[in-house]
Amino acid sequence: MNRNGESVFRELALFQDYHGLPAFKNELVKLMSKIRGDRVKFDPNKLVLTAGATSANETLMFCLANPGEAFLLPTPYYPGFDRDLKWRPDVGIVPIHCSSSNGFKITMPALEDAYERAQNLNLKVKGVLVTNPSNPLGTTLTRQELNHLISFAVAKEIHIISDEIYSGTVFDSPRFISITEAVIDRNLQETDLWSRIHIVYSLSKDLGMPGFRIGMIYSDNETVVAASTKMSSFGLISSQTQFLLANMLADTKFTSKYMKENRRRLKKRKDMLVSGLKTAGIKCLKSNAGLFCWVDMRKLLVSNTFEAEKELWKKIIFKVGLNISPGSSCHCTEPGWFRVCFANMSEETLQISMRRIKTFVETILIIGNSGSSSQQQQPRGGSVISKWVSKLSSSDPEPDR
């Protein structure tokens, strides 16, 4: 690694400030602004580096809530939040129940219902955590949803954490609107709410670099920034990594071309998946971002239960050879929805997967779901597979972010 022709190895090998390399943080806030169409500007002094978004979310829990207090999360939500919020911070999760009847959008009645349920459980609500774009829905929050969240947070005097790790993957309309932009548009920068807005971001998805462990917290709350900076000492990003990526991000021509091409490929793969499933008679929630689709397989269930959903999931593993995430693992309240990832395989593999699904669906519909998986012969090794299948159904199918 060189700077102006001279090696910087010695400099990088020595202790660095826990705040992170200024050059790296400067490039990160530029990237965040660019992804948001430069409608929002970010201050590098309000950015805290963490070893991935997983660490960022856990750190925010330690900063904002005491053990036994709670955050509200709209369902379905990323299964890893059960780990990030609960395991060490011991923060409770109260679901905001969203429904397929309106495309799983967040409504004010759903927010109020979740808050009331938390109170009935004697849980003090400290905030709402959302993913925008959503994992697992693959959709961006609408202006109306963002306004519901803002009005709700103002009324209840609570925090909003917006995990925007997929913000650079938006490949179709409507465009991405950051929580920060929505608050600015309502001229609330000078209110108490401004210090209760926190953004989590990472390079894992937008730039396909999960192994580099680059996460961050952005907040206008000085106390949160100070506390999370101190806590970041337990999950630092190496100086060598920061130096390398600062130089890479400084090449704005490269990053722009990369992200544009990434969005193009994601849209192509998503269209392939949706089209392939459509030929099998399966519909997907209309999506515009992310690496996955929210797929409606309710008509394949033998009954409207989560037990039937699990049985269907096992059949897809045993008979089709595909592992997709059942909606129950994402705390969906309606059986029969599945998260299907399309970005972690070649186009050829995706096409083969669609052919397998189509054949499977045709078989299911022909026999009319007349037998459970226990009545049908499983492939050799099924008894062994079933042991880890049961574990997978309740675990996080996605690597750390």
* Of 25, 126, 205, 310, catalytic: 205
Catalytic (active site) residue 77: no
Task: Verify whether residue 391 is a known catalytic residue.
Answer: no
Yes or no: say if 293 and 342 are a contact pair by the CB < 8 Å rule.
yes
Cβ density class 132-170: b for 16+ within 10 Å, e for less? bbbbbbbbbbeeebbbbbbebbbebebbbbbbbbbbbbb
From the list 25, 77, 78, 106, the catalytic residue is: 78
For the question of residue 165 being annotated catalytic, the response is yes
Question: At residue 312, what is the residue type?
Answer: L
Which residues neighbour 227 within 8 Å (Cβ) at sequence distance 6 or greater? 62, 63
Q: Classify burial at 112, counting beta carbons within 10 Å of its beta carbon; exposed 0-12, middle 13-18, buried 19 or more.
A: middle
| Spatial separation of the C-alpha atoms in residues 239 and 9, rounded to whole Å | 10
Question: What are the b/e assignments for 87-99, b being 16+ CB within 10 Å?
Answer: eebebbbbbbbbe
Token pair for 54? 């997983």
> Prior bond to 95 cis, omega within 30?
no
> What backbone torsions phi and psi does residue 43 show, to the nearest 5 degrees?
-100, 120
- For the question of residue 163 being annotated catalytic, the response is yes
Q: Residue 69 — φ and ψ, nearest 5°?
A: -85, 175
Strand partners, 284: 295
Of the candidates 387, 363, 388, 393, the one whose C-alpha atom is nearest the C-alpha of residue 376 is: 363
Which one from 35, 106, 115, 163 is the annotated catalytic residue? 163
Closest CA to 220 of 188, 242, 176, 177: 188
Q: Which of the residues are catalytic?
A: 78, 163, 165, 205
